[in-house]
């Protein structure tokens, strides 16, 4: 098993899986049936013992509840992280106004996550079939979310893991800016296969962000500012309102569209 095989397998899956299109049964409107959700994925391969995983346990970053890769899978030798960028239709629809999320974006957030899960599961399966113990934290029963007064966190953060592996750096809005931009979804797989690791091309947490502030006026909750960054409580409260309005779907993503980092590194 090698990196090229894994990437080619996942890319083909993203190209051909029915889950990369909104099904007629799930479509909020007939026009959305068959709508493409993601463009092709990008990958990065990281070290499970990277010192950054220890730093994530700091309460200023994630907290003590964060589980490092080896706490999920003791035999892990490689952390596989991938990013699926949203297609143009979803991005464009969400930039039409900055009051409520576009229905197309909601499909990307909810139906799109089904493809993230499928790719994660299938990568895990081919690795296990090749004789390597593997695990997907997203699908593990030990995955937990913590929703407090000032923040919403999980014991596994796909964005932070992607940062460690080399996929990109954080932006002012706390999204992760990759070579394919900030709009999309992340996934990860832990494996005992010892695959070559990618070297991070950046040094700083916000290296790819120009701090231009163009995401600030897009945020319907007013949770982003140049001096304070992102107010997670305000953001979380607005997501709760979208859940009430669009249940069982929810989302926002206004800070990720019509900005210099939408589809690439500024």
The residue to which tokens 């900005």 are assigned: 259
All structural domains of the chain with their residue ranges: 3-256
Contact 187, 158 (CB under 8 A): yes
Please give the structure tokens belonging to residue 132: 């390597």
- From the centroid of its chain, how far is CA 125? 21
Contact 84, 14 (CB under 8 A): yes
What is the model's pLDDT at position 206?
97
Mean per-residue pLDDT over the chain, rounded: 95
- Region 209-238: what's the mean pLDDT? 95
Please give the structure tokens belonging to residue 250: 């929810």
pLDDT tens digit sequence for 108-127: 999 999 999 999 999 999 99
Contact 205, 215 (CB under 8 A): no
pLDDT tens digit sequence for 23-61: 999 999 999 999 999 999 999 999 999 999 999 999 989
Task: Calculate what percentage of the chain has a pLDDT beyond 70.
Answer: 97
Please give the structure tokens belonging to residue 21: 């299109």
Among residues 137, 143, 142, the alpha carbon closest in space to that of 124 is found at 137
Q: What is the pTM of this model?
A: 0.95
What is the model's pLDDT at position 144?
85
Distance CA 264, CA 261 (A): 5
What is the model's pLDDT at position 197?
98
């Amino acid at each position: 098993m090698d990196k090229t095989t894994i990437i080619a397998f996942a890319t083909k899956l993203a190209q051909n899986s029915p889950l990369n299109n909104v099904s007629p049964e799930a479509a909020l409107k007939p026009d959305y049936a068959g709508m493409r959700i993601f463009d092709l994925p990008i990958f990065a391969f990281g070290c499970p013992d990277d010192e950054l995983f220890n730093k994530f346990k700091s309460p200023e970053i994630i907290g003590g509840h964060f589980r490092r890769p080896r706490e999920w899978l003791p035999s892990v030798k490689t952390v596989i992280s991938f990013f699926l960028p949203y297609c143009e239709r979803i991005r464009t629809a969400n930039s039409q106004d900055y009051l409520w999320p576009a229905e197309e974006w909601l499909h990307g957030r909810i139906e799109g996550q089904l493809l993230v899960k499928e790719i994660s599961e299938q990568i895990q399966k081919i690795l296990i079939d090749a004789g390597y113990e593997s695990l997907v934290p997203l699908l593990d029963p030990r995955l937990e979310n913590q929703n407090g007064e000032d923040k919403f966190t999980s014991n596994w953060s796909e964005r932070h893991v992607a940062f460690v592996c080399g996929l990109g750096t954080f932006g002012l809005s706390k999204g992760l800016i990759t070579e394919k931009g900030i709009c999309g979804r992340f996934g990860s797989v832990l494996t005992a296969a010892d695959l070559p690791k990618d070297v991070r091309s950046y040094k700083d947490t916000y290296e790819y962000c120009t701090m231009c502030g163009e995401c600030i006026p897009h945020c319907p909750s007013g949770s982003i500012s140049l001096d304070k960054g992102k107010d997670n409580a305000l953001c979380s409260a607005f997501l709760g309102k979208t859940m009430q309005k669009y249940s069982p779907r929810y989302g926002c993503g206004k800070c990720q569209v019509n900005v210099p980092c939408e589809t690439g590194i500024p």
